[in-house]
Chain A
C-alpha cells in the first residue's frame, strides 16, 4: 500500500506481513486511518484501552470473525482493557417471556464474544462499564497520556476532564491500537487539534441541566472543539466529584447529539485552567445559550412512542453509568419525592445503572442501598442503550434522563427533576 507517514523499520515489517497476515491487516487499518488524517507518524499509547463493543449480537458476524482471526493467532492487547456494559441483566431488568426469547436469539453470541474478549486481554469480569474512569473501576489515565479508546462518552471525558489525549476512535480501531500499542498521531493528539473553534457563552438564570446543555452544544458544534464560558458560575472552579459527574453527563450528550471529542470549560477543566483563552483559535464562532435556547432545544426532541400519551412502564437513570455519589444523590432525591407524594415505592419499574465495581461500593453503604431497594428501585450494570435496541423493547414507553439514550432509542427524555416525579407518580401528566 502507498503511504506518506513515517513508519519505523519495525512498523514497516509488520505492515509487510513479517508478524503474520492478521497483524499486517491490523497495521494496514491503522496506517490507512492515519493517512486519511495526514498523520505524520505512529505514537505509543501509555495507558490501558477501553473498548466500546460489549455485545454479542448475532448479526455482527463480521466483528466476531475479526476477533476469531485475532484469537486464532494468539494476538492480545499489550495492557488489559475495559469494555462497555453488558446488554442484559435478567436479575434486575425484568423481561417477559417474549423479550427473553428475542434476547436469547439476538444476543446469542454474548458468551462466545465475552470469551473472545477474555482471550484478547479483558481486565476482569467486572470490567463492563462505559465509565471505566471511575475510581472503583480503575482504568484512569493521567493528563497527557495517549489513549486508544472508543465509547464516545468515555473519550470525551478522558480528553476534557482528565486531559488525556485520544481521538474519537471507532470500535475495532481502538482494539487495533491496543494490540499494536501505537496509534496514528493526528487531531486531538496534537496541541493544535485541541484548540477551540467555538466559544459557548452560558447565560442561563440557573444551573443548566447537564444533559440538555450538552445536547445543545453537540448539535451546534458537531465535531469541533468548544470552549465553554460561564459554566463555572454554576458548578464551581474546583474539579471535585460533583463537577466531574456534571461534566460526565454533559459530555456524553455533546458526543451523542453531536460528535464532540473534547471540550474545555473556563476555570475548570485542566487545559482551560492552564492555557486559558490561548486555547481559543482566532475567529472562533460564538453560541449563546440562555434559558430560551435551553427550552428550544429541549422542545425539539421528538416523541416517537407509538402512543404519545402512553403511561410509561420503565425508567432508566444512568446512561452513562452513575458514579457512587450520583447513586447516593438519586437515593436522596427519591426519598424526598416519595415523601412529597406520600408514597412508599416508585410507581414504575425504575432502574439505576452503574459499573459493577461502583455497585459493589454502593452496596457497602447499607443505609442507602437498603433504602433505595425498599423503594422498589433496581440497581443494574446493564447498558440501557443495548437493552433497548430491539423491536420488542422499542415498543415500550420508556423514560430516561439520558440524552444519549433518547438519541439512540425510542425512550423519552425528561430532566432529573421531572423524571423523579414521573417515576414516583407513575405517569407524565401533572
Chain B
C-alpha cells in the first residue's frame, strides 16, 4: 500500500531509491568506516551494535533512521562518502535531525557535487511503516512516498 509522509527539507531534492531501515540511531563512523577504508565500491554497514544495518548495502539507498549517533567525525565521514559516490541517495529522519547528521548532509551539499537529499521530522509512524526494500520517492517539497 502506498503511503505518504510529510517532513521538513534539510537538503531539498527529488529522488527515488530502495529503502534501508535502521530502527535505532545510526553510528555513522562505525557504519561507514570499514567500507570506505577498504576502498569498497559500495558501503556495507559495519557497526556491530546496529543489527538493522549490519552487512546491509547503504550506497544509493534511501536510508531511513531516527537519528545519527556516535563520533563527531560522522559529518566528515558522510561528506567523504558523498564525494566518493558512496553515500545513500537520501537520508530520511523520523526525528529532528541531529547535529552530526546535519553537518554531513550540509557539507556534502556545499562542498561536493553529490548531495544527499535529506528530510527530517517524518515521525515514528514513518519509521514503523517503512521496511527494507520498499520503494521510496522523495519530492522537492519534503513529501516522502513509500510503496
Contact = CB atoms under 8 A, between A and B. Distances in A.
Interface of A: 25, 28-29, 32-33, 36-37, 52-53, 57, 59-63, 66, 106, 150-152, 155, 167-174, 187, 222-223, 255-259, 302, 304, 389-391, 394, 407-408
Nearest to A57: B37
A62 B112 CA distance: 8
Contacts of B27: 407
23 contacts: A32-B106, A32-B110, A36-B10, A52-B76, A53-B76, A59-B84, A60-B80, A62-B83, A66-B111, A152-B70, A170-B73, A170-B74, A170-B99, A170-B107, A172-B79, A172-B107, A222-B67, A223-B69, A257-B49, A391-B38, A408-B29, A408-B30, A408-B70
A259 B103 contact: no
B133 interface: no
A28 B110 contact: yes
Interface in B4-45: 10, 25, 27, 29-30, 33-34, 36-39
Interface in B58-90: 67-76, 79-80, 82-84
Contacts of B80: 59-63
B109 interface: yes
B97 interface: yes
B110 A408 contact: no
A168 to B, nearest CB: 5
B72 A171 contact: yes
A407 B70 contact: yes
Contacts of A57: 37
Contacts of A28: 110
Interface of B: 10, 25, 27, 29-30, 33-34, 36-39, 48-49, 67-76, 79-80, 82-84, 97-100, 102-104, 106-107, 109-112
| Interface of chain B, main secondary structure | helix
A35 B29 CA distance: 24
B25 to A, nearest CB: 6
A75 to B, nearest CB: 14
Nearest to A25: B110
B32 to A, nearest CB: 11
B97 A36 contact: yes
Given A36-B97, A389-B37, A25 B111 contact: yes
B76 A408 contact: no
By Cβ-Cβ distance, the 3 closest A-B pairs, closest first, are A170-B75, A170-B103, A62-B83
A62 B84 contact: yes
Given A37-B99, A59-B39, A407-B27, A170 B110 contact: no
Contacts of A150: 72-73
A289 to B, nearest CB: 19
Nearest to B70: A256
A4 B98 CA distance: 19
Nearest to A154: B72
Contacts of B34: 391, 394
B48 to A, nearest CB: 5
Contact of A167 (B25, B99, B111): B99
Given A59-B39, A152-B71, A407-B49, A168 B76 contact: no
Given A29-B107, A36-B106, A390-B37, 15 more contacts: A33-B102, A36-B10, A52-B73, A59-B80, A60-B80, A62-B79, A63-B79, A150-B73, A171-B72, A174-B72, A222-B67, A255-B70, A258-B69, A259-B70, A407-B70
B73 A53 contact: yes
A222 B65 CA distance: 14
Given A62-B84, A389-B33, A168 B38 contact: no
A210 B22 CA distance: 28
Q: Which of B34, B71, B100, B107 has the most CB of A within 10 A?
A: B71
A256 B27 CA distance: 8
A125 B80 CA distance: 26
B30, B69, B74, most chain A CB atoms within 10 A:
B69
B121 to A, nearest CB: 11
B67 A223 contact: yes
Contacts of A29: 106-107, 110-111
Contacts of B110: 25, 28-29, 32
Contact of A259 (B49, B69, B84): B69
A70 B66 CA distance: 34
Nearest to B86: A59
Nearest to A408: B30
Contacts of B49: 257, 302, 407
Contacts of B79: 62-63, 172
Nearest to A60: B80
A167 B103 CA distance: 12
B10 to A, nearest CB: 6
Contacts of A408: 29-30, 33, 70-71
A105 B73 CA distance: 21
A109 to B, nearest CB: 13
A376 B63 CA distance: 47
A86 to B, nearest CB: 15
